[in-house]
Amino acid sequence: MTPQLLGGGNQLIIQLGQQMPSVLTLLGIFAIRFVFSMVSYGSGLPGGIFLPILSLGAIIGAIMRNPWSACICYQRCMRLTL
């Protein structure tokens, strides 16, 4: 997953759909991609900002999915046992 950290983000988004890393790993990936996106955009070199922003949104969605899915599974299990 390391080479995808600094790329456009397409492979990272696809990989997030196939396997889910831990929240701590996702936070680290988000921080690295955010910093490098700002550095590359601020440098003035030609390149897009659209796909890096989409990949940041996918990472945020994956971060939010982990706690919510655990909460939803817990609520469903509680309903089944009552």
Residues 9-19: tens digit of each pLDDT: 778 888 887 88
| Statement: the pTM of the whole predicted model exceeds 0.85 | no
pLDDT of residue 81: 54
What backbone torsions phi and psi does residue 43 show, to the nearest 5 degrees? -75, -20
**What DSSP designation does 1 have?**
-
Distances in whole angstroms, Cα of residue 63 to Cα of each of 33, 40, 42, 57, 79:
14, 24, 26, 10, 26
Read off the pLDDT band of 73 (50, 70, 90): low
Read off the pLDDT band of 69 (50, 70, 90): low
